[in-house]
Amino acid sequence: MEKKKLSCPAGHGEMKLTHKKKHMTFKGVDIDYPVNCFVCPTCGLEASTLTQAADIQKSMADAYRKKVGLMTGSEITEGRKRKNLSQEKLANLMKIGIASIKRWEAGIIQSKSMNKMLVQALSGESCGDSLTGNRSLSIPRIKLSLRHLEKFMDMKILKENDRMLYAAKYMWYIDMETYRETGQSVTGATYASLPMGPQLNNYKDLVAEIIKAPEKQAEPLTEEEKLIIEKVACAFPTTRQVYDASHREVVWKEKSAGQFIPYSDAFRLTEL
Ligand SMILES: [Zn+2]
């Protein structure tokens, strides 16, 4: 059980449970949000219990979402219940994992495009696209992701006249993992199962285009996307490792040559 009382660390005795409004700039947006915390009546020091700290995070996220026109956690929960949808049913309508719904309801902020899909799904429409991972193909974003990976690994992975033998595997893991975490791929790329492993669909035509793509015009990678790219880099520090791992994945092995690997398979990956 969490303590219901806190004492001031400066020795002023019991702190007082206080409800107050806070103001801050969050992701560049000014927000006001209510919090519950303990305040020392003598020195004014503030402290919060673990539960309060979690509630404060949620309160900030909701104030931000309200301000920028995204659904808040409780709006998602209520909207879902009004339509008699379980978290799982809503996830199925959007072709994403139940974990994403849980995260958004608990206070993690959804992207604008996922919010648009949430609104559609809550009106009962089926809207997800599990071949592109709920995003339209962005070749500049493929380049942006691979460049971030190369910088982090200090290694050249995207090469001219290359068949993307390794670049495609890294990209596949990055897209799949980001989809699993956020409900949306990074690049919108479609992947097929080829004898040499998971591969970007139409990779032969794509390589030259990726290399000359104007990455500065692409929607910048989010912090979360960058972290996932770094996580994939750490999981597979050599090209051999990413190649071998992808060949151990059931979702690749079970497909016949040329068959698409949908993003819904992201929940069945075993190597990451
Ligand atoms: Zn004090």
CA of 48 to the centre of ligand 1 (A): 14
Q: Note whether 48 and 100 are same-domain residues.
A: no
CA of 19 to the centre of ligand 1 (A): 18
pLDDT value at 3 more than 70 = no
Q: For residue 11, what pLDDT is reported? A: 95
CA of 43 to the centre of ligand 1 (A): 4
Q: Note whether 157 and 206 are same-domain residues.
A: yes
CA of 25 to the centre of ligand 1 (A): 27
Q: How confident is the model at residue 4 (pLDDT cuts 50, 70, 90)?
A: confident
CA of 38 to the centre of ligand 1 (A): 11
Q: What would the DSSP string read from start to end of 71-90?
A: PPHHHHHHHHHHTT--HHHH
Q: For residue 2, what pLDDT is reported? A: 59
Q: Note whether 160 and 196 are same-domain residues.
A: yes
Q: Note whether 171 and 223 are same-domain residues.
A: yes
Q: Note whether 56 and 81 are same-domain residues.
A: no
- Listed in sequence order, the residues at least 6 apart from 11 whose beta carbon sits closer than 8 Å to its beta carbon are none
Q: Note whether 107 and 152 are same-domain residues.
A: no
CA of 41 to the centre of ligand 1 (A): 7
CA of 58 to the centre of ligand 1 (A): 27
pLDDT value at 262 more than 50 = yes
CA of 7 to the centre of ligand 1 (A): 8
pLDDT in tens, 68-106: 999 999 999 999 999 999 999 999 888 898 999 999 999
Q: Are residues 56 and 34 in contact, defined by beta-carbon separation less than 8 angstroms? A: no
Q: Picking from 30-39, 42-51, 119-128, 224-233, which range would have the lowest pLDDT averaged per residue?
A: 119-128
pLDDT in tens, 191-232: 999 999 999 998 888 888 899 999 888 899 999 999 999 999
Q: Note whether 62 and 83 are same-domain residues.
A: no
Q: Picking from 116-120, 231-235, 236-240, which range would have the lowest pLDDT averaged per residue?
A: 116-120
pLDDT in tens, 40-72: 999 999 999 999 999 999 999 999 999 999 999
Q: For residue 124, what pLDDT is reported? A: 75
CA of 40 to the centre of ligand 1 (A): 5
What pTM was computed for the model?
Answer: 0.78
Q: Note whether 263 and 248 are same-domain residues.
A: yes
CA of 35 to the centre of ligand 1 (A): 19
How much is the mean pLDDT over the chain?
Answer: 93
Q: Note whether 117 and 156 are same-domain residues.
A: no
pLDDT in tens, 7-19: 999 999 999 999 9
Q: For residue 139, what pLDDT is reported? A: 94
pLDDT average, residue stretch 136-159 = 94
Q: Note whether 149 and 118 are same-domain residues.
A: no
CA of 56 to the centre of ligand 1 (A): 21
CA of 6 to the centre of ligand 1 (A): 11
Residue 34 sits in which domain range?
16-68
Residue 217 lies in a domain: yes
Most confident listed range (128-132, 172-176, 215-219): 172-176
CA of 4 to the centre of ligand 1 (A): 17
CA of 250 to the centre of ligand 1 (A): 59
Which of 53, 68, 83 terminates a domain? The answer is 68
Q: Note whether 145 and 188 are same-domain residues.
A: yes
pLDDT value at 1 more than 50 = no
CA of 46 to the centre of ligand 1 (A): 9
Q: For residue 61, what pLDDT is reported? A: 95
CA of 5 to the centre of ligand 1 (A): 14
